[in-house]
Amino acid sequence: MHVIKTVSELKQCLTAFKNISFVPTMGNLHAGHMALFEEAYKKSEGVVFSIFINRIQFNDSNDFINYPRTLANDVSLIKKKFPSAIIFHPEENELYFNHSPKEFALGKVVEDLCGRSRPGHFQGVATIIDIFLAMINPKYLFLGKKDYQQLCVIENFCKIYYPHVTVIPIRTIRDANNLALSSRNNLLKDKTKAANLYKILLQASQAIKSLSDIQQQTKLAKEQLVKENWQIDYVEVRTQKKLTHPKDNDKELIILAAVYCEKIRLIDNIEFCIE
């Protein structure tokens, strides 16, 4: 297994592979990441895992400072399950050296949902993805569905800027209580309470599938969260493919939420279809 810190060493290592799968992470790995890695190996012999906490996508400097850093454990975990992996763990200067700032055309989707409360976040995400894709030149890019809006943004980004890259979404991995796995979960004291977010979203999605009013159900979901002393960023229903407000003929929908539990920002979503 290779742990690589420089771009030059990475490019030299990648010459041995024809097709490359890329899994970007910020470390503090869990079973959700492992699911991405497993799917990546089904597509390519050469698989690159990046471990890099991207400062420019954080709106809150304290969130960046407090983000869990567990490099030794991450490397050990990957080594046990994926001994042939290429781990790319660069320093900031290595990535941003000679990289000119860009403003990417990401569409109106970045102004909605997480984009409303985190201005510039998705430009920061697109910037680091642009740097990584230019360096690695993968055929496949694997992303989890938990960060659903980010997935949609990067899918559109790749269609415009990297059409040769195929984005492969992977389902959200949950714990025994259906709490979506996240690196931030380790900061929670009461994971049982946090798991109630999924239950509330599931109840709302099932009611909407039964042709209940969308606005009424999102309002009820918010009221339940407020009763449990959650701080709500948003609870919204959108179309699955474009994250637009649904119209009467839209059947493939998704309910998404961003909330604060114990001052920790959690996001989750459930896809569903109206028959």
Task: Give 39's contacts (C-beta < 8 A, 6+ positions apart).
Answer: 142, 168, 170
* Residue 185 β-bridge partners: none
Q: Is 211 helix (H, G, I), strand (E, B) or coil?
A: coil
Residue 110: DSSP 8-state: G
Q: Which of 2, 30, 33, 121 is catalytic?
A: 33
* CA R_g for the chain: 19
Give CA–CA dist 91/108, Å, rounded: 32
Number of Cα atoms under 13 Å in the Cβ half of residue 75: 12
How many angstroms separate the CA atoms of 196 and 182, rounded?
A: 15
222 secondary structure, DSSP code = H
Is 164 designated active site?
no
The greatest distance separating any two alpha carbons of the chain, rounded to the nearest whole angstrom, comes to 57
Active-site residue numbers?
33
